[in-house]
Amino acid sequence: MKKDGVLTMRNNPKPPVYSQVAFDIATKIASGELEENSKFTGRSLMSTEYGVSQETIRRAFKQLADMEIISVQQNIGATVISKEKAVGYIEKFQTGKDIRSLKAELRALLDERDKVNTRIVQLVDKITDLGDRFKSSDPLRNYEFEILPGSKIIGKSIRELEFWQNTEATIVAIKSGGKINLSPGPNAVFEPYDILVVAGKLDSVDRVKNLIK
Model confidence, pTM: 0.40
Q: Report all structural domains of the chain as residue ranges with CATH numbers, in order of start.
A: 6-103 (1.10.10.10), 141-212 (3.30.70.1450)
Contact 25, 64 (CB under 8 A): yes
Residue 211 or 139, more confident: 211
Residue whose C-alpha is closest to residue 151's, from 161, 141, 142, 159 = 161
The pLDDT score that the predictor gives to residue 148 is: 95
Mean pLDDT is highest, among 1-15, 43-57, 65-79, for: 65-79
CA dist 136 and 158 (Å) reads 28
Express each pLDDT in 91-116 by its tens digit. 887 766 666 777 777 788 888 888 88
- The answer, yes or no, to whether residue 118 has pLDDT greater than 50, is yes
Contact 169, 144 (CB under 8 A): no
